[in-house]
Structures are given as C-alpha cells and as structure tokens.
Structure 1
Amino acid sequence: MDFTSFIHIFITLISIMNPLGVIPIFLAITADQSAHQKRSSIKRTVTAVILILLISAYGGNYLLSFFGIDIDSFRIAGGILLLLMSVHMLQAKTPTVKTNENEQSEAVEKEDIAVVPLAIPLLAGPGSISTVILFSSSMPTLIDKLALGIIIAVSGLLILPTLLLSKPIGKRLGSTGLNIATRIMGLILASISVKFILEGVLHFLKGNI
C-alpha cells in the first residue's frame, strides 16, 4: 500500500473517533474531577483506545473466521454502520451506536470513566473497531499491518492533546464550532461508508458470478 492509502486510513480513523465531538461529553462527566484526576483519566483512555483498536486490527479477522463471516459481508455491514453514524454526525448528534442519553447520565455518576464510556464506546466504538478490521483484512504483508498499528497509535495519541485542552478548545470553538467540526467529520465518514458498501457488493458479485 502507498503513502496515500495510509493517509486515507488515518483520516478515516480520526473522522470516526471524532475526538472534538467527545469534548462536550468529556467536560460533563469530568466536571467534578480535579485536574490531576482528569489527566489520569485521559491517559488511561488513550491507552485503552490504542489497545482496543490494535487487538481488533490483529485479531478481528480470526474472530470473523471463527463465526464463519466472510469479509465482504462484514464490509457491507460495517459500511452500513458507518453510514448510520455519519447521518447522526451530520445532524451534530452523538451516534446512538456510540452512546445514548441514559448511558451518558450514568457515566456522570461513575468514579472511573476512562475505559467506559470514554474509550469504549465513545472513541473506540463499533465503527472504529469494524473499520480497523476491514483495513487489516486488505493488508497482505506484515509491513503493511505494522504500518496500520503505527497509524492506530498515532490516531490514539492525538486524543491526548485534544482532551487535555478540551476546556479552552470548547470555549474557543463553542457549540457552533464543535457542531461544524462534527458535521465535516460526518460528511467524510458518509463518503467512506458508501465506498465500503460498494466494495463489499462488487466483491460479493464477482465471487458469485
């Protein structure tokens, strides 16, 4: 795979995780935490996100094989899932496949919110997991798979400064700015999801003609 393909993967992951869109939720569920507690939560969140996505990328295909799911069917299902997410993002809403209002309310009362709900399902949710599995399945060489791991790590590490600076970013952009960023990410994600669906359908048809 060439450099352009890896840039495409990076942009896709950032669009799906949408760390800017997580800022309002993060500020709400960490309102009662001290600065030290927030930093600790953010570090654990980043670590969890990277580990979850790496395990999914390198072990997801084995799981699909265990359940007898072919990659074309999974590509179509993953594309539909991302399309549903993108529709919510275009409306500047948190996708319900990530979290809903009840789960967000419960998160406010939890002492440790680093892994659940911040890491999963808000950042490393079903969309992110299915996407890294799909990208991993299209990489035949070990070097490509290692490069995917690096992209996952870099994408996860970008969450760190975003959440550490969540308060000034939130104040500077405001609700309107954050909503605009979410809509842009949603538009990118909609295009990617359609591509996944079309690729899955075309490969399925080729294999059955």
Structure 2
Amino acid sequence: MDLLMIAQASIALLMITTPPDPVKILFFNTIVANREERRAPAALKVALIVAVILGGSALVGRQLLGLLGINLGAFGIVGGLVVAGMGFEMLYNGAPSKTQGKEIEEEGPEDEGSLIMPLSIPLIAGPGAITTAITLAYQGNQIDPLIATLIGVGVVAVVIFVSMNYLGGLISKVSERTMELLLRIGGLVLATLGVQILLGGVVRYFGL
C-alpha cells in the first residue's frame, strides 16, 4: 500500500470536510449545550454517520456509475474539476466551500436531530466530500485507491470525534485570521489534488 496515496486521500477528505471548522464545532456545541454527558456519544454519532456516508460512497460509487453508464475516466475529469474548484474557492475566500453547505451553517441547529441533518450531511459529508470520496477511490483499476480512500474516511471519522468531543472549548478561541490562513493553505492542497485527479481521468479516458 502506497503511504503517499493514503496521505493524499486523507488530506483531501480532511480539507473538504474541515471537521475542526469553528462554525461546525460551535453548531455542535449548541446542540449539546447543558448536556455535557451527551458530548461523547453525540460526537461518536456524527463521526459514524459521516464514515458510513463517505465509506459507502467510495464502496458503491463505481457500481452506481456503471449502472448510470458513466465512464470512470470522464467522472475522474469532472470530479477533478469539482475538487479543484472547491480548492480554489477555499484558497481565494479563506472559507469552507459553499458546496459543503456553508450557507446552512448560518441558520443554526434546532435539536439533536440536527446531528444528522444538517451537521453530518451536508455540512460535513456534503456533495463535495461525496464526490471527492468516489473520485479518489477509482483513480485506477487497482484496489489500492479504494483502500486508501477508506483509510482516509477512517482518519476523517477519528478527527471528527476528537474535534467535537475535545476541542469544543479550544477551537472557538482560534482567531478568525488563523483559521482563514489554514483554510487557504488547505485550499491550495485541495486544488492541486483536484488537478492531479483530473489529469488521471484524462489519461484513463483516452487510454494514454
């Protein structure tokens, strides 16, 4: 197993889901407010929901595309464009991509049902993250990209649990400028990976 492939999948998924985003964590904090005993179970619930959504997308994405008659090379090209576009959006705006439900964050939570929607989906496992998971999993005919993506999903789940359960009080103290800088750096990495995925799709589509 290529460790670089695992690292790329993990970084791409972390950058697009951005679990430590202060807004997401404050959203979570509001849901579990005055119920600290519910923090760990709630954080675990969010992590598992996101893992199932992204892991399931990675596992069945290829079959679904086949049923729809979509060429994997073409999907790689479009998926690469989407990932790169989200990366450029983060790079220039210094904020999470709107395809991940950024606008919903401003509405605030209502109750614990909000752990599933809109927190788990689409704020964390949004369309962009799902597209990224499918695209990363099928960059070639080997099984390695799929395994690397599933490991990346596991990494995301762990980071979500740690972020929600332990960093709730700390992350809100991170300055807006610092978070903006981190998101811009993450956007650059994500845009680069998106272009790489796009080029891989071109090679696969044209059989180069």
TM superposition score normalised by structure 1:
0.85
Match of 1:168 among 158, 170, 173: 170
The alignment partner of 2:20 has SS state of: helix
Write the distance in 2 (CA, Å) between the matches of 1:113 and 1:128.
19
Q: Over aligned residues, Cα RMSD in angstroms?
A: 2.3
The alignment partner of 1:108 has SS state of: coil
The 8 Å contact of residues 139 and 145 in structure 1, kept in 2 or not, is answered as: no
Q: Which residue of 2 aligns with 1:30?
A: 29
Q: Which residue of 2 aligns with 1:11?
A: 11
Write the distance in 1 (CA, Å) between the matches of 2:158 and 2:28.
21
Write the distance in 1 (CA, Å) between the matches of 2:28 and 2:149.
31
Q: Is the deviation greater in 178-187 or in 84-93? A: 84-93
| C-alpha spacing 1:148/1:190, structure 2 compared with 1 (3 Å) | closer
Deviation at 1:110, TM superposition (A): 4.1
Match runs of 1:84-163 below 5 Å: 84-90=85-91, 91-101=93-103, 103-138=104-139, 140=141, 145-146=146-147, 148-163=149-164
The 8 Å contact of residues 92 and 180 in structure 1, kept in 2 or not, is answered as: yes
Write the distance in 2 (CA, Å) between the matches of 1:144 and 1:75.
13
Percent identity reads: 28
Deviation at 1:114, TM superposition (A): 1.5
TM superposition score normalised by structure 2:
0.85
Tell me the amino acid that sits aligned with residue 203 of structure 1.
Answer: R
| C-alpha spacing 1:40/1:86, structure 2 compared with 1 (3 Å) | same
Write the distance in 1 (CA, Å) between the matches of 2:109 and 2:69.
39
Write the distance in 1 (CA, Å) between the matches of 2:147 and 2:116.
25
Write the distance in 2 (CA, Å) between the matches of 1:89 and 1:37.
32
Write the distance in 2 (CA, Å) between the matches of 1:127 and 1:31.
25
| C-alpha spacing 1:203/1:146, structure 2 compared with 1 (3 Å) | closer
| C-alpha spacing 1:124/1:28, structure 2 compared with 1 (3 Å) | closer
| C-alpha spacing 1:144/1:100, structure 2 compared with 1 (3 Å) | closer
Question: How many residues were matched structurally?
Answer: 204
Match runs of 1:63-74 below 5 Å: 63-74=64-75
The alignment partner of 2:100 has SS state of: coil
Deviation at 1:18, TM superposition (A): 1.6
Deviation at 1:7, TM superposition (A): 1.8
Write the distance in 1 (CA, Å) between the matches of 2:142 and 2:169.
42
| C-alpha spacing 1:139/1:80, structure 2 compared with 1 (3 Å) | closer
| C-alpha spacing 1:151/1:56, structure 2 compared with 1 (3 Å) | same
Deviation at 1:57, TM superposition (A): 1.1
The alignment partner of 1:49 has SS state of: helix
